[in-house]
């Protein structure tokens, strides 16, 4: 934004009922969608709506309140995008659910900025929508044999993991740094044996497709053991959970 914000002649005064909260919300959503959430400022929004800046404050007490309302809409949109098939076993369901979870937010940066990057700022309505969706997942896990608590923990850990991956990827993309240490960067540093040997296939951002898949699969593997432990024969359980002695490092 290099040119001054306002150069044209002053606007005509608008009629009394010519603005609405919905119109402002839509304008804000469109502006953020077309450019970015960072680009959304009260003056820019007012300009786009051809409205005095201060008029917005009659409908939204603060920018924060506007963002919260935008998040509500975003949550509804996210919810609509998250229709997962019901014909899946619990592990396939979880894999599909969180893969889609990640993909939806990766495809729609605004949803990611509003919901993932601003967690904790959910309105009651947004929370209600999210809770409804989470309940569906928990229900499936319980149906598969998990206790309510285990299901809640399972969901929480996968949700935290997925949102963590999204957060890191988005933060990484936002920084204009040059790919952070080009391939082979550790080639000359002494002592980085393992890192050097895998640096062709692993990126330090830890945010790649393969990375995410591994963590998701690994967590599901852990859950599988957790679930089976309640029903499997003693010998297998013992073999599965007993950790080999020794093998301790320096």
Partner DNA sequence: ACCTGAACACCGTTCAAGT
DSSP code of residue 116: I
135 binds, among a second copy, DNA, none (CB under 5 to 8 A by kind): a second copy
User: How many chain residues interact with a second copy (CB under 8 A)?
Assistant: 99
Number of residues assigned to the chain: 250
Q: Does residue 5 bind DNA (CB under 7 A)?
A: yes
Between 9 and 200, name the residue whose CB sits nearer to a second copy: 200
Site for a second copy in 138-197 (CB under 8 A): 138-140, 142-145, 148-149, 151-165, 167-168, 171-175, 177, 180-181, 186, 189, 191-195, 197
**Distance of closest approach, residue 50 Cβ to DNA, in angstroms:** 8
- Partner interacting with residue 15 (select from a second copy, DNA, none; CB below 5-8 Å by kind): DNA
Does residue 13 touch DNA according to CB under 7 A?
A: yes
**CA–CA distance, 115 with 119 (Å, rounded to integer):** 6
* 177 burial via Cβ count (<10 Å: 0-12, 13-18, 19+): exposed
Give the one entry of a second copy, DNA, none that residue 237 binds, where binding means its C-beta sits below a cut-off of 5 to 8 angstroms depending on kind: none
Q: Do residues 34 and 75 touch, judged by C-beta distance below 8 A?
A: no
- Select 6 or 128, whichever has its Cβ closest to a second copy: 128
Question: Of DNA, a second copy, none, which one does residue 164 interact with (CB within 5 to 8 Å by kind)?
Answer: a second copy
Closer to DNA by Cβ: residue 7 or 201:
7
Q: Using CB under 8 A, which residues numbered 78 to 117 contact a second copy? A: 85-93, 96, 117
Which position has the token pair 């599901």?
A: 220
What, of DNA, a second copy, none, does residue 240 touch, CB below 5 to 8 Å by kind? a second copy
* 119 burial type by CB count under 10 A (0-12 exposed, 13-18 middle, 19+ buried): exposed
CB of 121 within 8 A of CB of 68?
Answer: yes
Radius of gyration, alpha carbons of the chain: 24
Between CA 211 and CA 11 the distance in angstroms is 53
* Per-residue b or e along 60-87, where b marks 16 or more CB atoms closer than 10 Å to that residue's CB: beeeeebbbbbbbbbbebbeeeeebeee
In the complex, the smallest distance separating the C-beta of residue 161 from a second copy, rounded to whole angstroms, is 5
Report how far residue 100's alpha carbon sits from residue 120's, in angstroms, rounded to the nearest whole number.
Answer: 22
| Binding flags for DNA, 34-73, as an x/- string (CB under 7 A) | ------xxxxx------xxxxx-xxx-xxxx---------
């Amino acid at each position: 934004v290099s040119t001054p914000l306002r150069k044209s002649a002053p606007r005509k005064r608008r009629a009394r009922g010519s603005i609405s909260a919905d119109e402002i919300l839509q304008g804000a959503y469109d502006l953020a969608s077309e450019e970015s959430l960072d680009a959304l400022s009260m003056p820019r929004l007012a300009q786009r709506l051809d409205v005095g800046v201060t008029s917005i404050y009659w409908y939204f007490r603060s920018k924060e309140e506007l963002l919260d309302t935008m998040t509500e809409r975003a949550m509804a949109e996210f919810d609509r995008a998250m229709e997962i098939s019901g014909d899946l076993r619990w592990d396939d369901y979880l894999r599909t659910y969180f893969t889609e979870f990640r993909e939806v937010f990766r495809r729609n940066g605004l949803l990611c900025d509003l919901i993932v990057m601003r967690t904790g700022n959910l309105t009651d309505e947004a929370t209600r929508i999210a809770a409804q969706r989470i309940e569906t997942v928990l229900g499936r896990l319980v149906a598969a044999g998990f206790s309510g608590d285990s299901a809640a923990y399972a969901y929480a850990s996968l949700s935290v993991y997925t949102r963590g991956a999204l957060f890191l990827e988005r933060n990484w993309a936002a920084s204009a740094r040059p790919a952070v240490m080009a391939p082979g960067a550790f080639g000359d540093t002494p002592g980085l044996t393992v890192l050097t040997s895998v640096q062709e296939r692993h990126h330090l951002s830890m945010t790649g497709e393969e990375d995410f898949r591994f963590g998701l699969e690994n967590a599901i593997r852990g859950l599988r053991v957790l679930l089976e432990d309640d029903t499997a024969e003693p010998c297998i359980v013992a073999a599965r959970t007993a950790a080999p002695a020794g093998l301790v490092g320096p």
